[in-house]
Amino acid sequence: MTRHRAASPRLLGLGSALLDQLAHVPESFLETVPGRKGGTELVDFPTISGLLARLPQPPVRAPGGSAANTVVGAARLGLPAGMLAKIGADADGRFYRSSLEDAGVATSPFKTDPRIPTGRCLSLITPDSQRTMRTYLGAAAHLSPDEITSADFAEYSHLHLEGYQLFNRELMTRILKTAKAAGCRISLDLSAPEVVMASRDILADLLHDYVAAVFANEDEASVFADGRGEDAGLEALAAVCPLAVVKLGVRGSVIRCQGATVKVPAHVVKASDTTGAGDLWAAGFLYGWLNGADLATAGDFGARAAAAVVQVTGAVIPEAEWARLRRECTVASGA
């Protein structure tokens, strides 16, 4: 079986609510920031607040987080979608919620923590277009297992998870069990090689028992296969999950489903920023797959969405581009 159709597919994303803050800075500013240029580091609230206060100009704000990027993309394409995430009871949290709602994403599953600020991801962009990222997880790191209930999934046919939730094993187990019991089909984006490495002892079992579709890039797939490369990674993922995808950037993607392999070429464009490329690929793929498109078509929808996002700074695609993508990504009646 290479396609899935729900009578009325509805997608729920679950992941970290991080307010992206994009700031163009000179090299001289970056020299005052501890840590490696181009790296990503977790920081505390005073540190990120101090960096924001010193910026030469206010940053551009946008809702971020892997799962949020995916559900926003799917909603923009026309798939009914919602988001479960935890925010603070602050201005950043209100902005995050309203931004998702403006994109057509339901936020009724949101959780709010009045004690902890909303998470932030500050991207310091130097003139060479390189990004140095500092992330404060904030309220996103405090979603607890007892906050997850069957009611969160009642209105949805599919749950899309970001792999970062695997760092909290108790929470991840509660999410998977509750979503499956509620009748949700589940997809998981592995998110980072570090996620795969840290969860190698449980990941195969979780994929086998709960996950219908797994998304990985070439590095994540290779780590899952003990460093034996992307091809071995695809084989290993497909051995424990009904549908496995390895995203290869400009080389396209490879999809394996029940023994059949589909290779999907990329839509190669001049990229200015690859932020969100994998998330938007998943958005296009899920939009097509959940609406009954075959794997090649769903993969092409993913490639088109990924090509659109790499041409902008950040993960927010302009509305004119969404209008074009909606025209190009159509699922034939009866597909």
What pLDDT is attached to residue 112? 97
What pLDDT is attached to residue 333? 46
Range from 1-5, 173-177, 256-260, 287-291 carrying the lowest mean pLDDT = 1-5
Tokens of 276: 């969100």
What pLDDT is attached to residue 3? 43
pTM above 0.85, yes or no: yes
Query: Which residue, among 188, 236, 192, has the nearest Cα to 213 in the 3D structure?
Result: 188
Q: Is residue 334 part of a domain?
A: no
Indicate the pLDDT class of residue 130, thresholds 50, 70 and 90.
confident
Q: Phi and psi at residue 207, in whole multiples of 5°?
A: -60, -45
Across all residues in the chain, what is the average pLDDT?
Answer: 92
- Output DSSP code: residue 58: P
202/334 Cα distance (integer angstroms):
39
Q: Is residue 6 part of a domain?
A: no
172/174 Cα distance (integer angstroms):
5
Q: Is residue 37 part of a domain?
A: no
Inter-residue contact 142 to 116 (CB < 8 Å): yes
The CA-to-CA distance between both ends of the chain, in Å, stands at 13
CA dihedral sign, ordered 111, 114, 119, 122? positive
CATH at 182: 3.40.1190.20
What pLDDT is attached to residue 335? 42
Q: Is residue 26 part of a domain?
A: no
Q: How many CB atoms lie under 10 A from the CB of residue 226?
A: 11
Residues spanned by the domain of 256? 11-17+65-85+143-328
**What is the tally of structural domains in the chain?**
1
- Output DSSP code: residue 254: E
Q: Is residue 76 part of a domain?
A: yes
- Give the distance, in angstroms, between the CA of residue 270 and the centroid of all CA atoms in the same chain: 22
Q: Is residue 304 part of a domain?
A: yes
Q: Is residue 335 part of a domain?
A: no
pLDDT at 160 over 50: yes
What digits encode the pLDDT tens for the residues 206-216?
Answer: 999 999 999 99
Q: Which alpha helices (DSSP H) does 55-126 contain, by range? A: 66-77, 91-102
Q: Is residue 71 part of a domain?
A: yes
Q: What is the 3-state secondary structure (H, E, C) of 287-301?
A: HHHHECCCHHHHHHH
